[in-house]
Amino acid sequence: MAIASLMGNALMLLLIHLDSRLHRPMYFLLSQLSLMDLMLVCTIVPKMAADYLTCNKVISSTGCGLQIFVSLTLDGGEGFLLAAMSYDRYVAVCHPLRYTVLLSRRLCLQMTLASWFLGAADGLMQAAAVLSFPFCGAREIDHFFCEAPMLVRLACADTSVFEDVMYMCCVLMLLVPLSLILTSYGLILAAVLQMRSNEARKKACATCSSHLSVVGLFYGAAIFIYMRPKSYRSANHDKVVSTFYTIFTPVLNPLIYSLRNSEVKEALKKWLGKCTNFRCQQT
């Protein structure tokens, strides 16, 4: 699954970089999503695989803090990036003639940088706060990687204030972009219902449904992990759900966007054709 994710997201980055037809805001945002998924898999899976293969399931406090910081940076950034992508779809469907004005390269870059910055700020705060707690007794994390909620359970100090603050941060980091996404798609749905052309409706629905699939997979898992009441938490459930946004979603994202997007498929066919011609010339 990890190899499939690495290959799929690397291929998306390569296609978007090489094909001039994909040099548009929508695909720039998609390339950032692929980059985040690529980095997330590289942050978690190699260490997890090494632990299983060597049976040496040990991680330093620095390594643990780094995993928390990077994973939260990427997860938080992806949430805001999905909101930016929903705005892109809103402008494309509802204001197609003003697309280049309402979504300029500068604004696209600003939204991308803001996504990375907000994710990094959340990751830095949570990693620093978690590692500041004293840990005593058995320091065994019942998980396949370092995640803030799991480490808080091991702290031998009062963590209630931090948990309340962490919960509020999660509400802001998850529900604010999710509300923007739902608002964008509410406006898109209203515009689609007013379209007279069946072809235009199908094209708009095909583009938006792929994005909504990604949103559902990502936010469903993230809300389950970070916004569930403490009394309903289970280590086994957390491990299963964590695999969705750390491994399964990064695998599915390039498949969803490539299979449902005709321009990406055309770019892939063009690239494969060039590779085939190059091999024929070599032989």
Does pTM surpass 0.85? yes
- Average pLDDT of 68-90? 90
Q: What are phi and psi of 45, to 5 degrees?
A: -65, -45
Average pLDDT over residues 54-76: 88
Give the pLDDT of residue 118: 92
54-59: list long-range contacts, CB under 8 Å, 24+ apart.
59/146
Backbone angles phi, psi at 135, to 5 degrees: -120, 125
What pLDDT score was predicted for residue 120?
A: 93
pLDDT of 2 > 80? The answer is yes
Residue 260: name the closest of 45, 80, 59, 26 by CA: 26
Instruction: Return the pLDDT at 69.
Output: 93
**pLDDT attached to residue 221:** 76
CA dist list (Å): 124 to 129, 155, 226: 8, 19, 17
Instruction: Among 2-16, 102-116, 121-135, 150-164, name the one with the lowest average pLDDT.
Output: 150-164
Indicate if the pLDDT at residue 245 is higher than 80: no
Q: What CA–CA distance (Å, rounded) separates 177 from 1?
A: 28
Q: Give 155's strand partners.
A: 135
Average pLDDT, the chain: 83
Higher pLDDT, 108 or 172: 108
pLDDT at 260 over 80: no
